[in-house]
Amino acid sequence: MSDQTVQPGGTGPGEGLSRRNVLRAVGAGAAVVGAGGLLQACGSSIKGASSGSTKAITIGWIHPLTGDLAGFGAPDMWVISKIKQTSPFKNGIKIGGKTYPVTIKSYDSQSSVTRAGDLARTAILSDNVDMLFATSTPETVNAVASEAETLGTPLVCANCPWESWYLNLFPKGNPTKATEKAKYVVLYFLGAEHLAACFIPMWNRIHAQLHTDKVVAAAFPNDSDGDAFRAVFPPIVAAAGYKFDMSAAYADGTTNYTSMITQFKADKADFFTNVPLPPDFAAMWHQSIQQGFRPKLATVAKVLLFPSDTYSLSSEVYNVATDTWWVPTLPWTSTLSGESCAQMASQYEASGLGQWNANISNYSLFEVAYAAFKTVSDPHDHDEVADAIHNVNIHALAGPLNFVNGGGWLKPFGPAPGVAITPPAGVQWQKGTKYPLEMQVVDNTLLPEAKITADLLPTNT
């Protein structure tokens, strides 16, 4: 195996370091992070896989570092570099009088569902991981979760609406009465119902300000996220007094949205919501502007979550609102280093990667792993480790993570056993000062710990 140390980088204006060197090592499939450098390209053997007679703990992370969902994975290699500086992952995890070195393998899903599942099988069957992580939308998470549950490997998931995750594992399940429990898989994130509850207060404020028609245009794709949103949003929105004007389900990758836009204009929709892939939203939103559909407030999910998603649309996304599960003002700290959210965001920006990214919170995958591993007698016993992750209850950089009862978020939809809810704040992309576009917290109804940083503005007036 040849080693090469590379530097992480970013994308978009103001993000000075290129990510190409990182992705050159990762793109072939897997890369291993060891003590010798930030990232080493991996051949047939794993550097640091053993130390004396104690076999290393191997953690595999499957995430989109390239492709349509690369914005989700933008901070991940920086997160790994931070984790390698913490004592358990630098010096080894102490279990029952032994110290186990830790190897972290990174697998780029390339934003492909098929590749994500293939990588999960490789990690489990060939690389013999002791634990897997899967992050960033159902396109990565669900395929990995299916393989991990089938092949009996502990898996911690994040950045995937829990209803989609749950229905993937239990197709006959009911999210309103979610009782089925995965044996090997847990998830921390929010649900579609939390996004509805996040968006409605923002609609109410714009309605009170502009005396709008209470009609919400909704464009949900024919995919896992779209299925969850079609099931969850309509009754919640109706209960809040809004008419839900939902288009027909469209295929991912659609390029012409004229019929949908014509429908929304005819119905005089003053609000807009959707859950598309980033390239689909770019086409949809650009065509909406061209064709004169200008809702008073757009509240989108799955897109515009990260700086890199906004730059290509420039001023077209001024005052478009979305959600976020992590901001620098949150009062939470790392269980591994004691560093605060504000410190992490500042260090990220100081590293030359551009403005902070909410998926710095992926750091907490490793906090969950450490909390579980330190309670077991054998870190290579998959059943024992799986039981341990289901019993994790910590206050981490991503917030309170309680896999026993969802951190108390038991209404209105669950959550399912093994799900810890991280509720969202309402945010809006506004014209910036330090950066061309800046994410401002404009509503903290569900996440009061997030400091309000700007007034909510209409998307179009």
What is the second-level CATH architecture of the domain 193-322+426-443?
A: 3-Layer(aba) Sandwich (3.40)
Cβ-Cβ contacts under 8 Å for 18 (sequence gap 6 or more): 9
What is the second-level CATH architecture of the domain 20-190+328-421?
A: 3-Layer(aba) Sandwich (3.40)
Convert 313-343 to b/e letters by CB count within 10 Å (16 or more is b).
beeebbbbbbbbbbbbbbebbbbbbebbbbe
- Tell me how crowded residue 255 is: count the other CB atoms within 10 A of its CB: 9
Q: Are domains 20-190+328-421 and 193-322+426-443 of this chain identical in fold?
A: yes
Q: What are phi and psi of 377, to 5 degrees?
A: -95, -25
3-state secondary structure 385-437: HHHHHHCCEEEECCEEEECCCHHHCCCCCCCCCCEEECCCEEEEEEECCCCCE
Residue pair 147/121 in contact by the 8 Å Cβ criterion: yes
Which pLDDT belongs to residue 269? 97
Which pLDDT belongs to residue 312? 84
Instruction: Give dist(CA 107, CA 117) in Å, integer.
Output: 11
Which pLDDT belongs to residue 44? 28
Residue pair 269/315 in contact by the 8 Å Cβ criterion: no
Give the domain ranges of the chain.
20-190+328-421, 193-322+426-443
Convert 128-157 to b/e letters by CB count within 10 Å (16 or more is b).
ebbbbbbbbbbbbbbbbbbbbbebebbbbb
Instruction: Give dist(CA 415, CA 405) in Å, integer.
Output: 8
Q: What pairs with residue 135 in β-bridges? A: 158
DSSP 142: H
Q: What pairs with residue 356 in β-bridges? A: none
pLDDT in tens, the chain (461 residues): 222 222 223 333 333 333 333 333 333 345 555 433 333 333 323 333 333 458 999 999 999 999 999 999 999 999 999 999 999 999 999 999 999 999 999 999 999 999 999 999 999 999 999 999 999 999 999 999 999 999 999 999 999 999 999 999 999 998 888 889 999 999 999 999 999 999 999 999 999 999 999 999 999 999 989 998 999 999 999 999 999 999 999 999 999 999 999 999 999 999 999 999 999 999 999 999 999 999 999 999 999 999 988 988 889 999 999 999 999 999 999 999 999 999 999 999 999 999 999 999 999 999 999 999 999 999 999 999 999 999 999 999 999 999 987 655 545 445 789 999 999 999 999 999 999 999 999 999 999 999 999 999 999 87
Which pLDDT belongs to residue 340? 98
Instruction: Give dist(CA 281, CA 136) in Å, integer.
Output: 17
Rg of the Cα atoms in the chain: 21
Residue pair 360/398 in contact by the 8 Å Cβ criterion: no
Q: What is the pLDDT of residues 364-393, one digit of tens each?
A: 999 999 999 999 999 999 999 999 999 999
Q: What angle do CA 227, 233, 235 make, to 5 degrees?
A: 120
